[in-house]
Structure 1
């Protein structure tokens, strides 16, 4: 069995806390962004997860909203 494939695979769903860490923000701020609809989440049973694609889309939107440098 090749265990390196499993450990090197990219997670597509993150815990809210892990998503917050990835953005270098706090848990409360992350939940506020989710509640405001800025970051999409999915529900799996009673668990809330943040798709990696939703984080990437949010970061891209932030970059697009930045004023151009003079």
Structure 2
């Protein structure tokens, strides 16, 4: 699941991080997808502030696999 690659001409990374103690809650798990775009770096984040199971993480990783960065200025990277 976590990894890196290229989508729609942009480099991306998918990261899963956990912290057992945070100021806001007892624990937090964060699934982040980040892209290096032409103008900016883009992030989509799903966060859980409770215990999360593998099935829920897999469900959201699949969802994030469908989230892409597009650019209407570049042929082949147009937005839907």
TM range (shorter): 0.3 to 0.5
Q: Which has the higher helix share?
A: 1
TM-score (norm 2): 0.30
TM-score (norm 1): 0.33
